[in-house]
Amino acid sequence: MNGRLTLREKLAYGLGNFGINLPFGMSNAFLMFFYTDVFHVDAATVGTVFLVARAVDAVFDPFMGLLIDRTETRFGKHRPYLIALALPFALSSIAVFTAPALAGAAKLAYIFASYTLLGLLYSAVSLPLNSMLPTLTRDPRERNVTNATREFLGSSAVVGVGYVTLPLVSAWGHGSAQTGFLRVAACFAFLTIAGLVLAFFNTRERVAALESPPRLTTRQSLAATRGNWPWIATMLVNFFFWVGFGGHVQSVVYYAQHVVRRPDLVPDLMLTMVAMLPMIAASGWCANRLGKKAVGMIGSAVGALATAATPLSSDATWLIGANLVAYAGLGLSAGLLFSLMADAVDYGEWRNGFRAQGFLFAASSFGVKLGMSVGGAAGAWLLAASGYVAGAPATASVIAGIVWAHVWMPAASYAAMAASLLLFVFARDYRPGAGARA
């Protein structure tokens, strides 16, 4: 069966992404704040840790992709990693929000090791899940809907984490932010394991390569990228999306506390990410009518313009409204990211004869990790360069640095996303689902 998927399978696939995105969302939104204001690490050091750890993680991704392509088990190429790595990934997500009594080099070594491990294990579970999409069905419309379901549930996790984390830290910490963050991380870790277990037991890899060898060599996997402009475009879109989104989200706490002087707005500003959810859910429907390229460009442009409008007012209503519009636009683009890559896998097989979904998704994930690395490090370095000191009143220089991290860098990145989609083009004689070209 290469066509329609059951609702159960779509939901299970999406719940796997939900589980993965709980610790991902918590670390993306609050880890920089945890390091600077709770664990008391200077912002410049945090920026360097983010850059180096994510660079290591990004280099690891293509190797993970090659491993997936060479995996052969009775459960398939992708599913075994979900069940085998669920517990290690969950434990690593707790470790990054643990603040042991360390100082100096020992503290630096701990945060670097724990954060790097989290990134590697995140890749080791997310890449199999993401690259499994082309094996579920060859039907492009089913892929659009399945991927939209996956993105909807994954983004729901990110939104929920953004909204509830700080209130839960306050309620469960009983005056200790360290204790609160640790308990919240442990709660999310349990749900992560549950999501990955459900995905493992309720999905099937049913689409085999039509002409491609079952076990690809490194050279054959690399050959799938030759002339594959949809893959190049998707990698660039992933890179710019995460530069902007990562930088914007991790600076929400600082923007609310020091720019608009309303720390109570943090949960509400995080909740505005909910605007992504209906647009992610609608992205497949829109793409089936307007085309993925057009929908992605429209969403990226809306995100860029609305983000750039954020500093026009410090009124809470304006800030919430601007964020809602920006996230709505980004939802259209985000809902298509992995569906775009699934098309690139098919196109690589048609053009070059090799169906290297593991490697192509992993190489695209390199763009994601590089974007997260650049966005996270740039935001931390902007804080450091502006003279940010945890707990101290914000100077004009600090405020300017936060605005650059929260507004201008993300807006420019979203505009670059739209431009990157101009490269999402296919050969004129290509037909989706055609298999390898004769």
What are the pLDDT digits (tens) for 309-336? 999 999 999 999 999 999 999 999 988 8
pLDDT at 382: 93
- Rounded distance between C-alpha atoms, residue 309 and residue 299, angstroms: 16
Report which of residues 213 and 245 the model is more confident about. Answer: 245
**pLDDT at position 1 over 50:** no
- Rounded distance between C-alpha atoms, residue 304 and residue 298, angstroms: 10
**pLDDT at position 434 over 60:** no
- In the structure, what pLDDT confidence band is assigned to residue 354 with cuts at 50, 70 and 90? confident
pTM for the whole thing? 0.82
Q: Give buried/exposed letters for 283-292 (b at 16+ CB in 10 A, else e).
A: bbebbeeeeb
- In the structure, what pLDDT confidence band is assigned to residue 210 with cuts at 50, 70 and 90? very low
**pLDDT at position 158 over 60:** yes
Query: Once rounded to an integer, what is the mean pLDDT over residues 241-266?
Result: 94
Q: Rounded mean pLDDT of the chain?
A: 89
Question: 3-class SS at 424?
Answer: coil
pLDDT at 68: 85
- Rounded distance between C-alpha atoms, residue 329 and residue 340, angstroms: 17
Q: Lowest mean pLDDT: which of 7-11, 79-83, 364-368?
A: 364-368
The secondary structure of 133-158 as a DSSP string is: HHHH-S-HHHHHHHHHHHHHHHHHHH
Dihedral angle sign, alpha carbons of residues 344, 360, 334, 248: negative
pLDDT tens digit sequence for 164-185: 999 999 999 999 999 999 999 9
Name the packing angle between helices 409-420 and 357-386 (round to 10°).
160
pLDDT at 348: 83
- Rounded distance between C-alpha atoms, residue 211 and residue 348, angstroms: 12
**How far, CA to CA in Å, does 348 sit from each of 317, 354, 358, 385?**
47, 7, 12, 44
Query: Once rounded to an integer, what is the mean pLDDT over residues 203-224?
Result: 68
**How far, CA to CA in Å, does 27 sit from each of 165, 185, 372, 378?**
11, 9, 11, 16
**Residue 370: CB partners within 8 Å, gap ≥ 6?**
54, 55, 58, 239
pLDDT at 356: 74
* Lookup: tokens for 326: 């920006």
Query: Once rounded to an integer, what is the mean pLDDT over residues 196-210?
Result: 83
Percentage with pLDDT > 90 across the chain: 60
- In the structure, what pLDDT confidence band is assigned to residue 412 with cuts at 50, 70 and 90? very high
pLDDT at 353: 81
Query: Once rounded to an integer, what is the mean pLDDT over residues 254-275?
Result: 95
* Lookup: tokens for 197: 């277990």
- Rounded distance between C-alpha atoms, residue 405 and residue 408, angstroms: 7
Residue found by looking up tokens 């989290």 in the block = 118
Residue found by looking up tokens 């991927």 in the block = 147
Dihedral angle sign, alpha carbons of residues 298, 224, 204, 17: negative
**pLDDT at position 418 over 90:** yes
**pLDDT at position 30 over 90:** yes
Percentage with pLDDT > 70 across the chain: 94
- Rounded distance between C-alpha atoms, residue 27 and residue 5, angstroms: 33
Domain topology for 7-207+215-423? Growth Hormone; Chain: A; (1.20.1250)
Picking from 34, 50, 48, the residue whose alpha carbon sits closest to that of residue 118 is 50
**pLDDT at position 435 over 90:** no
Residue 259 half-sphere exposure toward CB, CA atoms < 13 A: 28
- In the structure, what pLDDT confidence band is assigned to residue 433 with cuts at 50, 70 and 90? low
Query: Once rounded to an integer, what is the mean pLDDT over residues 356-376?
Result: 77
Query: Once rounded to an integer, what is the mean pLDDT over residues 152-162?
Result: 90
- Rounded distance between C-alpha atoms, residue 26 and residue 253, angstroms: 13
- The winner for highest mean pLDDT among 42-56, 147-161, 181-195, 263-277 is 181-195
